[in-house]
Amino acid sequence: MAAVLVLANVCGHRLSVATSSRHASLCKRAAVTATLERPASGAVSWTGSPDDAAAKAAWLAKQSLAAAPPKLDDELRSAVKPAVVTGPDQKSDEAGSRATIEHILQDERCNVVLSHVNADFDSLAGAVALAKLWSIERPELPTHVVTPRGVNPLVSRFLAYHKHLLPIRGFKTIREQDVAAVGVVDTQHVSRLGAAASWLKAAEHVCVVDHHSNAQGDIEADELIIEPVGSATTVLVEKIRARSEVVLTETEATLFALGIRADTGVLSFPATTPRDALALAWLMQQGCSQSAIAEFGQARLSNQQRELLSEAMQSIEIVRHEGLKLGWVVLDTGRGFVTGMASVCEELLQLLAVDVALVGVVHCNAKAQPFLSLIGRASARAERSAVDLNAILGKWQGGGHPAAAAASVKLRGPEPDPAAEAGAQLDEQAEADARAAALSLGALAQARAIAGEAVELVVGQVPQQARATQLMTKTIHGCSQNDTMDDALELMNRMGRRAMPVLGDDGTLLGFLKYRDPIRAAQAGKGRQQVKAWMRRELITIGPDATFTEMERQLLEGDTGRLHVVDDDGRLLGLVSRTDMLRHYQYYTGINRRVA
Ligand SMILES: [Mn+2]
């Protein structure tokens, strides 16, 4: 017999109504609490037909919502929504209730998959994907997804609409002793799991899935899956794809697509692999919603973020070093933790066209303890120039990727307040005072010093940029100004050159010819004329020590594909061509070798 247990417990301003199997264990706990500890606390235990149950659940929910204060725990709030229930078989007699309680206690055991703190789309999508896999591989126990210490604003917005469609549970709804297996996605560091880190020790099995292949993690895992791909979600989507029995919901396919897109910059970041693109294409075939992706995948700055961005734009300091432009700024939010500062940092990188943006944000917790959030973003160019923000912010126990990393640093705080130490929340005025005291004690200066140190470390990572002598082609085929244009054409054809320098007897650069010049001369019947009558004298020359940045500027602004490298006496030392510049960037394997 399918029976339904409906419970409402409004004591202590908490509400729960057992309505679906997803929330069954939550409600079971409420049942145990109500029955064992407070038998007459307003808990209603009742069995009936599913239809009656639905009606009663709706009624109870409505009554309790009206009675309960507006601030409901998210988990409990979502527990109210579904109306129809199929609960486990239960009997309403005394023996039955006892059996139910036993069953409930045993049934609390579960597997948990964790995202990292302040979860991004990749971490959440990967966690949901691993939970999906475990629902097949480990069907004995339910697998819940937990996002310790919150999610980023983009993910938060997505969850506001989709939380009920995903197996997400609040951290506090799971007891440590109930955790059987723990999955960790998108990090290998204990410090990135917040309070959920303690579950690792309690668990019988720990599985880590990550894509940061050079990370040195400290999570002790029985199963470590690390693949050098652009997103953690890719690794898990491949595993799901290999299991033909798995059918993705539209929400799952959409979330997974958002995960891959987020970490690969929509397949544009240097670390993106064909596997990421194939996984994304497969998710599109599985019916991910492109319109939902358009809606939820795009960062939108909040008013607060925009304010801080404009403040950052005004007070940012620019450091130039070896062709790279670094911008850094320390902001005082004047309030608590501001989420989404990473988006502000990314905007700065784009808007100011800097290669590295370092944003420090000073904020205080409820006990007026000041913290510095240090967020770094680097351009692809900076990453190629050996800038590794992951390594730099590791100095402050932070991390991430070479081009995107963050750290949180505890600053010198106010004198410990006994009330705050005892866990009491300071009132608004006391908090403001303590905060002001902390900042006057130099927390802000300390924050600036730390950010400045990070800038120095970035500067230290950037190697001296290439000089003209390192890049130039030294094998020069030139012609004399006394040669005929026909001779010059013959030489250019033989050497396969589209341009040719004109040299004096001592190697002095006098001018150059483009291929079209001897062609025109021949067409005009003037092939016997001397080169000196035709050669171009507007030369673009650089010294042997010209920096890569300078050469790039000439290439971009000078409307020329070749730079003549000359010594102080005007003698030609070599040529830097477009190919030499491209080779330096190492974009293409095909032009790695020099072709003399
Ligand atoms: Mn990731």
Q: Where are the domains of the chain?
A: 11-106, 109-296, 303-461, 468-591
**Dist. CA 530 → ligand 1 center (Å):** 64
**Dist. CA 398 → ligand 1 center (Å):** 15
Residue 529: is it exposed, middle or buried by C-beta count within 10 angstroms (0-12/13-18/19+)?
middle
**Dist. CA 299 → ligand 1 center (Å):** 17
**Dist. CA 77 → ligand 1 center (Å):** 30
CA distance 513 to 501: 6
**Dist. CA 276 → ligand 1 center (Å):** 12
CA distance 405 to 358: 10
How many Cβ atoms from other residues are within 10 Å of residue 289's Cβ? 15
Please report, in tens digits, the pLDDT of each residue of the chain (596 residues total): 333 344 444 333 333 444 344 444 444 444 433 333 333 333 444 444 444 555 445 444 444 444 443 343 444 344 433 333 334 444 444 555 555 555 555 568 999 999 999 899 999 999 999 999 999 999 999 999 999 988 988 999 999 999 999 999 999 999 999 999 999 999 999 989 999 999 999 899 999 999 988 778 899 999 999 999 999 999 999 999 999 889 999 999 999 999 999 999 999 988 899 999 999 999 999 999 999 999 999 878 888 889 999 999 999 999 999 989 999 999 987 667 777 888 899 999 999 999 999 999 998 877 778 889 999 999 988 988 899 999 999 999 988 888 999 999 998 876 655 555 555 555 666 666 666 666 656 888 899 999 999 999 999 999 999 999 999 999 888 999 999 999 999 999 999 989 999 999 999 999 999 999 999 999 999 999 999 999 999 888 999 999 999 999 998 887 778 899 999 999 999 999 988 988 888 888 877 655 43
CA distance 503 to 572: 8
HEC-encoded secondary structure of 73-119: CHHHHHHHCCCCCCCCCCCCCHHHHHHHHHHHHHHCCEEEEECCCCE
Question: What are the backbone dihedrals phi and psi of residue 83, each rounded to the nearest 5 degrees, phi first?
Answer: -100, -35
Element (H, E) at 281: helix 274-285
**Dist. CA 76 → ligand 1 center (Å):** 30
**Dist. CA 115 → ligand 1 center (Å):** 10
**Dist. CA 123 → ligand 1 center (Å):** 6
Which architecture does CATH list for 109-296? Alpha-Beta Complex (3.90)
Half-sphere exposure of 142 (CA within 13 A, CB side): 19
- The region that residue 150 occupies, defined by phi over 0 for left and psi between -120 and 50 for alpha, beta otherwise, is left
Question: What are the backbone dihedrals phi and psi of residue 208, each rounded to the nearest 5 degrees, phi first?
Answer: -115, 130
Are the CB atoms for 486 and 463 separated by under 8 Å? no
Are the CB atoms for 87 and 48 separated by under 8 Å? no
How many Cβ atoms from other residues are within 10 Å of residue 393's Cβ? 23
HEC-encoded secondary structure of 554-594: HHHHCCCCEEEEECCCCEEEEEEEHHHHHHHHCCCHHHCCC
Question: What are the backbone dihedrals phi and psi of residue 585, each rounded to the nearest 5 degrees, phi first?
Answer: -70, -20
**Dist. CA 279 → ligand 1 center (Å):** 15
**Dist. CA 238 → ligand 1 center (Å):** 15
Question: What are the backbone dihedrals phi and psi of residue 347, each rounded to the nearest 5 degrees, phi first?
Answer: -60, -40
- From the list 105, 88, 116, the residue with the least C-alpha distance to 36 is 105
Provide the pLDDT for residue 339.
Answer: 77
Residue type at 126 in one-letter notation? G
CA distance 239 to 245: 12
The model carries a pTM of 0.69
Tokens for 66, please give them.
Answer: 């009206």
Three-state secondary-structure class, residue 328: strand
Q: DSSP for 512-542?
A: EEETHHHHHHHHTT-TTSBGGGT-B----EE
CATH of domain 468-591: 3.10.580.10
Element (H, E) at 60: helix 50-67
**Dist. CA 122 → ligand 1 center (Å):** 5
Tell me: the pLDDT tens digits for 533-566? Answer: 999 998 889 999 999 999 999 988 877 788 999 9
Provide the pLDDT for residue 443.
Answer: 85
**Dist. CA 283 → ligand 1 center (Å):** 17
**Dist. CA 323 → ligand 1 center (Å):** 30
- The region that residue 212 occupies, defined by phi over 0 for left and psi between -120 and 50 for alpha, beta otherwise, is beta
**Dist. CA 286 → ligand 1 center (Å):** 22
**Dist. CA 126 → ligand 1 center (Å):** 8
**Dist. CA 232 → ligand 1 center (Å):** 5
Q: Which residues surround ligand 1, an ion (CB under 5 A)?
A: 122, 186, 232, 263
Taking each helix axis from N to C terminus, what angle separates 485-495 and 516-523, rounded to the nearest 10 degrees? 130
For residue 343, the Cα-to-chain-centroid distance in whole angstroms is: 10
**Dist. CA 509 → ligand 1 center (Å):** 54
CA distance 73 to 462: 49
Tokens for 512, please give them.
Answer: 């150059």
Q: Where are the alpha helices (DSSP H) in 297-427?
A: 303-315, 341-351, 380-384, 389-394, 418-421
**Dist. CA 163 → ligand 1 center (Å):** 20
CA distance 121 to 119: 7
Tokens for 232, please give them.
Answer: 């953690």
Provide the pLDDT for residue 37.
Answer: 34
Element (H, E) at 405: strand 404-410
Q: Where are the alpha helices (DSSP H) in 398-506?
A: 418-421, 428-438, 444-461, 468-471, 485-495
CA distance 549 to 17: 66
Three-state secondary-structure class, residue 362: strand
> What is the CATH topology of the domain spanning 303-461?
Diaminopimelate Epimerase; Chain A, domain 1 (3.10.310)
Provide the pLDDT for residue 43.
Answer: 40
